[in-house]
Amino acid sequence: MSHYCVHCGSELVLRVIEGREVEACPNDDFVLWHDPKVTTAVVVEVDGGVVLGRRAIEPGRGLWCLPGGFVNDDEDPWEAAARECAEEINSAVELTRLIGVYHIPKRGAPSMVGIAYQARLSGGGRPSPGAEMLEVGIFAPDSLPPLAFPSHRKVMAEYAGVLPPAGRATKSRARAEAAEPRSGAAMAQRGSRPSRVPAPSRPRRTR
């Protein structure tokens, strides 16, 4: 498919720049660089679990994913991450750390640079589904439903792997030894089934 210069409208021609074959304008300095898009994913911790949303839109409609999305041109990535949590799971969050930065290769679309953060709720209330979600759930990190995106599986693997082993053992031991007889049942329930909150209305398309 032919592409054209955004400045003068000339048909672009192949040129080699810095060892890379690119489409460039024969009349001026316009180059059609294929830059990656920047996207975020957020692991929001709630009660020892993480928040996932079941998608109301393509791609991956009906599957679960982490809250997150594209970074706008005028946003810092952390602002975009917090905004997406407000939009997708109706939650104010405090980002607590950077989990990692990933290249997400795509065919037929720009590849992405994914930035994954860990976060906790900062406002009152429980997560609930935003416009792009059918429902939200809180899942144990080792008992996740099928996720829509390979990149989110990678983030969750990294998240589970980098939790300090001592901290994890202490946490689960503390739970197991808790005097409340219902705490074990609550853990088991969280592990097998999320506490789901259905969407109140039809989703509306937003970015």
- 94 part of the interface to Zn ion, by CB under 5 A: no
Shortest distance in whole angstroms from residue 28 CB to Zn ion: 4
Burial class (CB within 10 angstroms; exposed 0-12, middle 13-18, buried 19+) of 195: middle
Question: Considering CB under 5 A, how many residues would be counted as binding Zn ion?
Answer: 8
- 56 part of the interface to Zn ion, by CB under 5 A: no
Looking at residues 123 to 182 of the shown chain, list those that interact with Zn ion (rule: CB under 5 A).
none
Interacting residue with Zn ion among 27, 143, 170, 206 (CB under 5 A):
27
Interacting span for Zn ion (CB under 5 A) from 7-15, 31-39, 146-154, 179-187: 7-15
Shortest distance in whole angstroms from residue 15 CB to Zn ion: 12
Packing angle of the helix pair 165-176, 182-192 (nearest 10 deg): 130
Nearer to Zn ion among residue 25 and residue 41 (C-beta): 25
Interacting span for Zn ion (CB under 5 A) from 23-31, 49-57, 128-136, 161-169: 23-31
Nearer to Zn ion among residue 32 and residue 160 (C-beta): 32
DSSP string across 127-149:
----TTEEEEEEE-TTSPPPBS-
- 7 part of the interface to Zn ion, by CB under 5 A: yes
Shortest distance in whole angstroms from residue 121 CB to Zn ion: 50
- 11 part of the interface to Zn ion, by CB under 5 A: no
Q: Are 111 and 81 in contact (CB under 8 A)?
A: no
Q: Which residue matches tokens 């009660």?
A: 47
Q: Are strands 37-46 and 112-121 parallel, antiparallel or unpaired?
A: parallel
Q: Are 127 and 90 in contact (CB under 8 A)?
A: yes
Q: Which residue matches tokens 């503390």?
A: 174
Q: How many Å apart are CA 79 and CA 149, to the nearest integer?
A: 22
Q: How many Å apart are CA 43 and CA 104, to the nearest integer?
A: 18
Interacting residue with Zn ion among 12, 24, 25, 52 (CB under 5 A):
25
Interacting residue with Zn ion among 11, 28, 76, 94 (CB under 5 A):
28
Q: How many Å apart are CA 99 and CA 95, to the nearest integer?
A: 10
- 5 part of the interface to Zn ion, by CB under 5 A: yes
Q: Which residues bind Zn ion (CB under 5 A)?
A: 5, 7-8, 10, 25, 27-28, 30
